[in-house]
Structure 1
Amino acid sequence: MDGKDIQRTQILNKRKKYYPLYLDISGKSCIVVGGGRIALRKVKGLLEADAKVKVIADDFVSGFESISKLSNLKIIKRRLRKSDLKNAFLLIAATDDKEVNREIAKIGREKKILVNVVDSAKDCDFILPATVRRGNLTISISTNGTIPLLSRKVRESIEDLIGSEYTFYASILSQLRSEIYSDKNLSQKEKMRILEKLSDGRLLDMIKRKASKEEIKKFVESVYPKK
């Protein structure tokens, strides 16, 4: 390894590393500052997670109209006030002005709130990955905030690979897992063996070729014959 390789490695090692996790924000107060398309996307994501959302901006794009009457969303047409952040759990700065976003982030940190700045990973306490959702199955892709375009391209590739059939597949497996783990007639080893068989690809193939409910039921019963 020559001097340039060592220098590149040192630079890579100094880059911020993130701990991937999923947050339960249901019922928590989340603030988005900005009224553009990016802000709208962030607001919708928070609403999907059942957060209580306040979005604050001088103006809003038309897309906000379709969600304006949701009970867990409050749209405020003015500039951010420090009092808006009282009891807030997280804050997303999503205006089209970098300096304004940095100032918003500064205010959030002063109040010990988790902060995300959409145009500056280095100013973030957390970053939001590109995400593919198929029911209970969630796949997240991140480049640690360095190459968002690559995250998007990988997400699009995964969307083509993991189709809508995975929504039904994940739902069935989730339900069966609950039943199997509550079955007192099975040992832990038997439970794991049954789950391995249910997730070995055969059930997914049946769903992909749109097998009948009766055929799927017979397969499940052959793997997990209830005592």
Structure 2
Amino acid sequence: MSTDERPFLEQIESFFLETVQQGLALRPSDVEITKDWEKRGVPVEVVRKGIADGIQRFLATAAPSQPLPGVLKYYRTFVETEFETWKRAKMMGLGIASEPVIKPVDMIQAAINVLSKWNDQAQNPKTKALFSKAITKLENRPQSQSAVELIGELDDWLALELLDNHGNYEWRDSMKSVLKAAQMRGVGFEALKELEKAQIRLHAQQLIGYTGLVNACLDWEDD
């Protein structure tokens, strides 16, 4: 979770301009989009993740010399998609710890239940060990760490570890190509980190069908 205390607009402007490497300030239309996000309570982390997803989608079809879209309007759909997932999580009690939730539930226990089910179904000893380790991390969660932060970290960690257990490492070459294409377009360091996470999630879904611990927790609560 971000500890940046700068105003919302300043955080988004800084991240976006570093990402697209175009201009010295947000365009007036982008400022209005950002103000709308702030008014509706879209977290900075959600915006960053949505922009990374937008970059990923763009690079999948763009010509090598084609620059990144330099307006937030292009990325708005991706941010809104991430925000819908975040709102659903918040309704289930997985929102930001400092904010009230409408339907408080024990999402840590839901995550443990999901991982226990996956562990029972897994046949690969290494995979079972991963799920067991994740359960232990949840059971020993520090009081200072929010549920959403820990489950989000475990989600990214599991996606990477499960991919490595899969044994096919060609996805790493694909990811490197995407990151290189982003670097050639001047994408900044923070955005590259978000893009790398997005790539890992994408390949985990495509290669092994891993759609994420957060989504599984939400589906568990829906059942």
Give the TM bin, normalised by the shorter chain.
Answer: under 0.3
- Greater share of residues in strand: 1
RCO comparison, higher one (Cα < 8 Å, 6+) = 2
TM-score, normalised with respect to structure 2: 0.24
TM-score, normalised with respect to structure 1: 0.23
